[in-house]
Structure 1
């Protein structure tokens, strides 16, 4: 009952905040997290003029931030907003450390429910990854598709991740889901390069 009430309230907020415009969130056939409490929503979508914008007036510090992002957008379009949000969320040196995470909401079409995947990155860099010799146990990982995340990855390694800026948000969400399935999200460097 509590979950149904939450889904109804979240859906109403999403519906009214998008001014009767339907937002198409990413889809998958797997649920990472199915229930979310203590959260604040934000939305990244195209406005009437076709410009990508963020609606983040409801973000509250030290709550989980749940991002609804239009699945038709590319990482190139949303990365500047993700950079801004991760900087704000994971800012060091404040009086009170924010211990909550950023999640992306998506639709689990198999189980017909909304689900959430945690953003494993605390920083988005919008430039080329520097070229330097990697320390032992560190590998560079370029993610352009879900298949790149499905390759057998060593949980002992630390991965410096680059995301292709041309992939869609739906692909990005499914990459994050696959990294959770493979249980290597904790092995990722906290900074990701989008280029």
Structure 2
């Protein structure tokens, strides 16, 4: 059984490789210990066609997956690879473990240690996936609050021109009753970096409660 709890620098080096991953940084990761794991690596590679290289040789279906992603990758580069990994696990019947989770690795700067953000039940919808995206969006459109995230400085409600930054969003989520009436759905610009995405997810986790629900469907535009 592998056990991940150790001090980590700003870099993660893949086993048997001289390639380096720059992990995203957060102030609080909320999860710091994960048992029975196997890793995957998503490298930033400027020479690759899509700018990304996936190494998944050591993944075991029945374990918790730690997905180490370079913070420079954009959602456009990253999400198709994440969907590929998710589908492998969700579609597998051999050695399937219903309790096994998926986590993104990050550097928790508050404690200078490795942290994890779970994404097991997140369903990503790409703008190219027309049928599934339209169905999911139409199911949620009238029963949710839709947030458009262009960047961490440009966040707005789908039907409004008023923008807010991430800090203001967190404050509004905690104090504005509007956000407690319906689930919040994220619509994320494909140009967002993984660093920005993880910063957003970490901030949302910190304020999520029984009264404030962030939907598991996330739309990439």
Q: In which range does the TM-score fall when normalised by the shorter chain?
A: 0.7 to 0.9
- Answer yes or no: is 1:176 the counterpart of 2:197: no
Alignment of 1:115-126 (within 5 A): 115-119=115-119, 121-126=121-126
Q: Distance in 2 between matches of 1:84 and 1:112?
A: 31
Residue 152 of structure 1 pairs with residue 177 of structure 2: no
Separation of aligned partners in 2, 1:83 and 1:104? 13
RMSD over aligned Cα atoms: 3.2
| Distance of 1:16 and 1:194 partners within structure 2 | 28
Q: Which stretch of the first structure deviates more once superposed, 117-126 or 139-148?
A: 139-148
Query: Is this contact kept in 1: 2:67–2:104, CA < 8 A?
Result: yes
Q: Could you say if the C-alpha distance between residues 57 and 155 of structure 1 is closer, same or farther in structure 2, counting changes exceeding 3 Å?
A: farther
Give the whole-Å Cα distance in 2 for the aligned partners of 1:48 and 1:143.
25
Select the residue among 135, 138, 143 that pairs with 2:149.
143
Pairing 1:24–2:30 present? no
Task: Decide whether the 8 Å contact of 2:30 with 2:115 is kept in 1.
Answer: yes
Q: Deviations over 1:148-175 (max 9, x none)?
A: 7524163452233211111110111111
> What does residue 215 of structure 2 align with?
189
TM-score using structure 2 length: 0.71
Unmatched tracts of structure 1, length 5 or more = none
Deviates more, 1:68-77 or 1:144-153: 144-153
Please report the TM-score for the alignment, with normalisation by the length of structure 1.
0.79
The unaligned stretches of length 5 or more in structure 2 are 153-164
Offset at 1:194? 1.1
After superposition, give the CA deviation of every residue in 1:59-113 in whole Å (9 maximum; x if it has no partner).
1113211111011111111011111122223338x47463322111111123111
Equivalent residue for 2:58? Answer: 58
The structure-2 alpha-carbon separation of the partners of 1:6 and 1:113, relative to structure 1 and needing over 3 Å to count, comes to closer
Contact 1:44 1:53 in 2 (8 A): yes
Q: How many residues align?
A: 188
